[in-house]
């Protein structure tokens, strides 16, 4: 399993500029780190079950995120997270209703993306914008 070297720790949380309206950023990021891989694994592709390791999951998100950034260098974790927040994804729900609410919410958002043509080509694969953004955010958090 190939892994990217961990990037140097940021001096300050770059997402802090998003302000308080969506809850504590650090908690949000931590929550994504903790549950992102598991929830995404169950959500992407409409799949259920998550009996694999978080390491496996992290590797997948990283691969997808890296590919997405190669295709569109403007995608980064900060912008991805901001876009998700702007789209109404409330990461505070991670703390309240894990995992069923988030799973349903994400799954629906992903399906809606496909229905509306909000898709992103990633290394030739056509993925929902929401799932690509989540991969970027989660991969960065897990790195």
- With CA atoms as reference, report the closest residue to 90 among 75, 79, 101, 77: 101
54 belongs to the binding site for another protein (CB under 8 A): no
Give Cα separations from 31 to 2, 38, 104, 114 (angstroms): 24, 11, 17, 26
Q: Does 56 bind another protein (CB under 8 A)?
A: yes
Q: Which stretch binds another protein (CB under 8 A): 9-17, 26-34, 72-80, 103-111?
A: 103-111
Provide the minimum distance between the beta carbon of 82 and another protein in the complex, in angstroms, as a whole number.
24
Token pair listed for 5:
């070297």
Q: Which one of 3, 4, 79, 111 is in contact with another protein (CB under 8 A)?
A: 111
CA distance 18 to 112: 25
Considering the complex, what minimum distance in angstroms separates the CB of residue 33 from another protein?
19
Report the nearest approach of another protein to the CB of residue 83 (Å): 19
Taking the least distance from each CB to another protein, the nearer of 80 and 122 is: 122
Site membership for another protein, residue 132 (CB under 8 A): no
106 forms part of the interface with another protein (CB under 8 A): no
Nearest to 90 by CA among 13, 14, 44, 27: 27
Residue 41: how many CB atoms within 10 A of its CB?
A: 20
Query: Among residues 32, 39, 44, 134, which is the contact residue for another protein, using CB under 8 A?
Result: 44
Q: Which of 22, 64, 77, 137 binds another protein (CB under 8 A)?
A: 64
Rule CB under 8 A: say whether 127 interacts with another protein: yes
> Do 66 and 2 form a contact (C-beta atoms < 8 A)?
no
Contact 13, 25 (CB under 8 A): yes
């Amino acid at each position: 399993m190939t892994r990217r070297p961990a990037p140097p720790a940021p001096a300050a949380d770059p997402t802090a500029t998003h302000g308080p309206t969506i809850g504590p950023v650090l908690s949000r990021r931590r929550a994504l780190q903790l549950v992102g891989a598991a929830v995404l694994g169950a959500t992407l592709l409409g799949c259920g079950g998550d009996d694999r390791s978080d390491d496996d999951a992290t590797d997948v998100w990283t691969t997808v995120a890296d590919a997405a950034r190669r295709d569109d260098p403007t995608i980064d974790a900060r912008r991805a997270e901001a876009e998700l927040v702007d789209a109404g994804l409330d990461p505070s729900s991670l703390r309240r209703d894990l995992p069923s609410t988030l799973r349903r919410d994400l799954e629906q958002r992903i399906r809606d993306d496909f229905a509306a043509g909000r898709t992103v080509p990633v290394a030739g694969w056509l993925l929902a914008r929401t799932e690509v953004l989540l991969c970027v955010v989660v991969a960065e958090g897990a790195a």
